[in-house]
Amino acid sequence: MFWRVLFFVACLLAGGSAGWFAALRSGIAATEWEGLAVGILFGGLVWFLIDWSRASRVLRWLRAGDVSEVAISTGLWGEVSARTRRLVLGRERQLRDSQNRLQDFLLAFQASPNGVMLLDAQGSIEWFNETAATHFGLDAQRDMLQHIGNLVREPGFVRYFAGHDYRDELLMPGRENTSARPVRLSVHLYPYGRGRLLLLSRDVTALEQADAMRRDFVANVSHEIRTPLTVLSGFVETLQTCALTEPERERYLALMAQQADRMQILVSDLLTLSRLEGSPPPGLSDWIAVPALMQQIEQDARALSAALNPAAQRVHALVFDYQAGGEIAGAGNELFSAMSNLVGNAIRYTPAGGDIVVRWLPLSDGRAEFSVTDTGPGIAPEHLPRLTERFYRVDHSRSRDTGGTGLGLAIVKHVAQRHGAELGIQSTPGKGSVFSIIFPAGRCRAQQLPAIS
């Protein structure tokens, strides 16, 4: 300001003194005082023109809006443009910062495994992430700013949205829901700000399926236990109330023992399954000799075949085919349980006299295949995908009659998975079945390595 006043005064002084001397020298009919006054006026005019041109430059600069450089660097107008520039740059930085922060928030919402949608006070969609787009079948280009009620027409959701009571979540079918592939969503609306709504959606299909499986499982177990229990308590009542002959008593007691055995096998299979699910997979450090395993399985198999066919002339023709020296890394008790389950099934479902071949075959790529081939009734193709489900049975009565629990193949599947192996089932109705477990190369070796001394 000081320099501005100084420049103004200097202009007046310069103009005044120029007017004074001009009047003095020219000798025209004006006095020095008139020359001084005209000079001062002229000086003021010059100052005004210079100032006006500087102000115009600042104004043009402001209008152009390009603040990369100042319009003028000196004087009052210089300071005005410098301060304006600093202010604008500061605001631009603030705007950039808040835009970046908004982008970060949106990216975080985008990364969320849940669907996120923002609705304005009228219920129009302001923003949604990709998961929400998948859940509700939305398109980011087409559906932004549309009213949610026009896009999500599921009656349950329409009622929930219109009801304005958002304390609880809503369970509804997802956009891609079909009877073959159900999709269930949990949707929850949360009011925020001035009448706005945050919508969170979660795919709960797997959770609901697990819940249904758990319910089915409990129902199945209860049913399986209730049947022998009912029989048992019936016999107990008979023993308590009726006068029985000794042979009758013995027959009843034998039947009771049979039912108790059935329950025991069921509980033992259930415990095996829960142990398999709850423990870490077997490591690669314990090597089990295949011949010893096969001998043990063979012993049990021959005993089972004889026990199931006490009156038969011929039991099953059992062939065990394996070479000496094979080893497998894993849990011995699990492998025994899985393999003897397959052999047991072949014996239980193949009528007496049928052929059963149990084979351990090292494959050329280092893997090894355990297989059980029988000449039993075979299994129709529609049952094959469900055979490893718990309590799934093709032939209920034969399964029960031979002490089956419906859990055998579920155990086999678990053991195979835990050993990185594949369970294969091939079957032709009327001809027989082949159940195989192919173990990975990393778990098989041909001969025991010599110990390092």
Query: CA-to-CA distance for 417 and 388, rounded, in angstroms?
Result: 12
Any bridge partners for residue 337, and if so which? none
| Minimum gap (Å) between residue 120 Cβ and ligand ADP | 56
Contact 230, 206 (CB under 8 A): no
CA 362 to each of CA 160, 328, 441: distance values in angstroms, whole numbers, following the listed order:
62, 11, 9
Residue 228 in contact with ligand ADP, rule: CB under 6 A? no
In this structure, what are the phi and psi dihedrals at residue 382, rounded to the nearest 5 degrees? -65, -20
* Between 47 and 349, CB nearer to ligand ADP: 349
Among 406, 413, 421, 439, binds ligand ADP (CB under 6 A): 406
Residue 393 in contact with ligand ADP, rule: CB under 6 A? yes
Contact 73, 61 (CB under 8 A): no
Among 70, 405, 418, 443, binds ligand ADP (CB under 6 A): 405
* Between 67 and 394, CB nearer to ligand ADP: 394
Residue 349 in contact with ligand ADP, rule: CB under 6 A? yes
- Cβ-based neighbours of 143, under 8 Å, separated by 6 or more: 125, 151
* Between 94 and 428, CB nearer to ligand ADP: 428
| Minimum gap (Å) between residue 404 Cβ and ligand ADP | 3
| Minimum gap (Å) between residue 409 Cβ and ligand ADP | 3
Among 433, 437, 443, 445, binds ligand ADP (CB under 6 A): 433
Among 79, 394, 422, 440, binds ligand ADP (CB under 6 A): 394
Among 51, 79, 208, 395, binds ligand ADP (CB under 6 A): 395
Task: Select the span of 109-117, 191-199, 249-257, 391-399 touching ligand ADP (CB under 6 A).
Answer: 391-399
Which region holds residue 195: left if phi is over 0, alpha if psi is between -120 and 50, else beta? left
Contact 199, 138 (CB under 8 A): no
Angle at 247 between CA 246 and CA 252, to 5 degrees: 95
Contact 152, 187 (CB under 8 A): no
Residue 377 in contact with ligand ADP, rule: CB under 6 A? yes
Residue 293 in contact with ligand ADP, rule: CB under 6 A? no
Query: How, if at all, do strands 432-439 and 422-428 pair?
Result: antiparallel
Residue 376 in contact with ligand ADP, rule: CB under 6 A? yes
Task: Select the span of 47-55, 158-166, 169-177, 385-393 touching ligand ADP (CB under 6 A).
Answer: 385-393
Residue 346 in contact with ligand ADP, rule: CB under 6 A? yes
* Between 16 and 376, CB nearer to ligand ADP: 376
Among 36, 116, 266, 409, binds ligand ADP (CB under 6 A): 409
Closest by CA position to 187, among listed 109, 106, 122, 117: 117
Query: CA-to-CA distance for 332 and 330, rounded, in angstroms?
Result: 6
* Residue 179 C-beta-side C-alpha neighbours within 13 Å: 0
Task: Select the span of 235-243, 244-252, 322-330, 393-401 touching ligand ADP (CB under 6 A).
Answer: 393-401
- Which helix (H) or strand (E) is 202 found in, with range? strand 196-203
Closest by CA position to 169, among listed 185, 183, 192: 185
* Between 390 and 445, CB nearer to ligand ADP: 390
Q: Interface with ligand ADP by CB under 6 A: which residues?
A: 345-346, 349, 374, 376-377, 379, 387, 392-395, 399, 404-410, 433
